[in-house]
Structure 1
């Protein structure tokens, strides 16, 4: 039987055999973890206050991303790209696992402890596995006296909260296991710098895409509208992700590399013809309009060929961001480019002439 099927069967068999399918679940670990949906429990002194729904990865935007509340997340250009659905993290000390088990001894028929993202154990399994050293089955490890006195932590699977509906979210079903301090588990879905970089990808926030236009208020049929972005508006955005207690970190950087224009009507020409405006060496896109340039072709712009007639065209401006990362241990690489769209109204008028 495949390991995932074995894990699922064991979850079901354990729940049915012990009658725990609807019992409240205590959870162990650090304060940043939260319980998944459903009954949950807690206790004092940060012993039983955690669950499996939220990672302990910390994410901080190091630079860029000006725009405050208007900053928005990127959308991957590759529709098939997905961030990691689950991974393993250190979640509890020996003392915390012991305290959780001691609590179960006091209320054996009321509470459980999460040992995987989907599986919770009661008193008997916790005592046998983590106190007496008796493995629950051939697929689980056992420990004597909770490994008290040893330097390290117990690890458990974590589900990416943005990927809960992905089947791969249930690939981290190793039961709560010990890892010595300063080491990383050598198993599938162990955390890596690339996992952190990919997780940070979804946390990148970039400024809203609103381009400068000239003429500002109203364009004229067949006369170019100049489009540009100043170099200070769009700069590199860097996000750092760290997994405490592991020495793992990654910094994911988004760099603007191009602007794509869609006029909002088929009756228009874009400059260049592809509608793709490249980023200049100084970080700007396009060239600001100057007096006397109204009849010139702009390096980045649009010429509308009919008037709006009371309903403005919706100019769509999409910024493409190149995504790279670097991390602990000299690691690094590329991730799929991201994009962010913005729309704005453009009014277009007919050329007015006066006959004398």
Structure 2
């Protein structure tokens, strides 16, 4: 019955957020902040019943893995921290980020296909008994264009 309840789960797919935003250019050497909506990072439960017996199955988000499209990945134990526009740069930090070392030039649509997958731990309970079921996974994808910028610093010239 726990498997029946587990199979009826409809978990939300992650919504990918990043700073810089996915529709803007990422830069080689600059950390890209990654996060999932905190509102969806909550346990979800479903109950299945037949006369005299009910089983509750609860899925809890455990981690998110980001495949960054360039062969690298980031593993984050939580939803990540949203970037705050008004925060002082020295006081800001991300608990989930990735730094590209190459540009996406030459890739299809000149972008890396970024995929995120949330792993949900699944437990059941019924009549004072509990157990563990196979984890569930929800996924999402987005395209990130990564550019490489270079600068040249020279001594000031008198005019």
TM-score tier, shorter chain, comes to: 0.7 to 0.9
Residue of structure 2 in register with 1:302 after alignment:
98
Decide which structure has greater strand share.
2
Please say if 1:225 is aligned against 2:69.
Answer: no
| Cα shift at 1:227 | 0.6
Question: Which structure has the larger Rg over C-alpha atoms?
Answer: 1
Task: Give me the whole-angstrom Cα distance separating, in 1, the residues matched to 2:122 and 2:94.
Answer: 29
1:214-233 CA-partner distances (Å, limit 9, x unpaired): 00022001111001123212
Residue of structure 2 in register with 1:340 after alignment:
138
| Cα shift at 1:254 | 0.4
Tell me, what secondary structure is at the counterpart of 1:205?
A: coil
| Cα shift at 1:234 | 2.4
Within 5 Å, which residues of 2 pair with 1:1-356?
196-216=1-21, 217-243=24-50, 246-266=51-71, 268=72, 270=73, 275-279=74-78, 285-290=79-84, 291-293=87-89, 298-309=94-105, 310-327=109-126, 329-353=127-151
Equivalenced residue count is: 146
| Cα shift at 1:212 | 1.2
Q: So what's the TM-score if we normalise by structure 2? A: 0.81
- The answer as to whether partners of 2:66 and 2:114 remain within 8 angstroms in 1 is yes
User: Structure 1 residues 258, 322: closer, same or farther in 2, change over 3 A?
Assistant: same
Could you list the runs of 5+ residues in structure 2 that have no partner in the other structure? Answer: 155-159
User: Structure 1 residues 233, 343: closer, same or farther in 2, change over 3 A?
Assistant: same
1:277-299 CA-partner distances (Å, limit 9, x unpaired): 112xxxxx2222234549x8732
Task: Give me the whole-angstrom Cα distance separating, in 2, the residues matched to 1:233 and 1:320.
Answer: 13
Relative contact order, higher structure (CA 8 A, sep 6+): 2
Tell me, what secondary structure is at the counterpart of 2:83?
A: coil
Residue of structure 1 in register with 2:157 after alignment:
none
RMSD: 2.2
After the TM superposition, which segments of 4 or more aligned residues of structure 1 sit over 6 Å from their partners? none
1:70-114 CA-partner distances (Å, limit 9, x unpaired): xxxxxxxxxxxxxxxxxxxxxxxxxxxxxxxxxxxxxxxxxxxxx
Tell me, what secondary structure is at the counterpart of 2:5?
A: helix
Task: Give me the whole-angstrom Cα distance separating, in 1, the residues matched to 2:41 and 2:6.
Answer: 18
Could you list the runs of 5+ residues in structure 1 that have no partner in the other structure? Answer: 1-195, 280-284
Decide which structure has greater helix share.
1
Task: Give me the whole-angstrom Cα distance separating, in 2, the residues matched to 1:293 and 1:340.
Answer: 32
Task: Give me the whole-angstrom Cα distance separating, in 1, the residues matched to 2:19 and 2:29.
Answer: 14
Task: Give me the whole-angstrom Cα distance separating, in 2, the residues matched to 1:251 and 1:239.
Answer: 6
Tell me, what secondary structure is at the counterpart of 1:200?
A: helix
- The answer as to whether partners of 2:14 and 2:36 remain within 8 angstroms in 1 is no
